[in-house]
Amino acid sequence: MNYEKLIESAIEARTKAYAPYSNFKVGAAILTEDDKIFSGCNIENASFGATNCAERTAIFKAVSEGYNTIKAVAVIGDPTTYTYPCGICRQVITEFAENDEIEIILIKNKNDYIIKTLKEILPGSFTKRDLDR
């Protein structure tokens, strides 16, 4: 699949990050089931527990607009390495993922990225599908 627009959206979102405490800026973009893109950045707070990650910002924007199924996620943090979603974000991605094979695009720049599946970065996850059993 061509993720060029998704990657560009994540890179652009990173420029809007509010990270005065860590100076670690993160951007993310998600692709919904009908190919709509939502982006988000990390937003820090002096009360660190009130900080929100870029991935969750993007997901919450989508959900608040009525989009509840994610097909892919792109993330960029420090452009010298691949930044993976944190544990909380992995669980939130799982909640709204189309399935555990959705692709997570980890970006250094628009030409340097790797793709992992959700199952690879969160094996054995507990999902709403488990509650239906």
Catalytic residues: 55
129/121 Cα distance (integer angstroms): 18
Degrees, nearest 5: CA angle 19-94-34:
90
Q: How many CA atoms lie within 13 A of 8 on its CB side?
A: 4
Which of helix, strand or coil describes residue 130?
helix
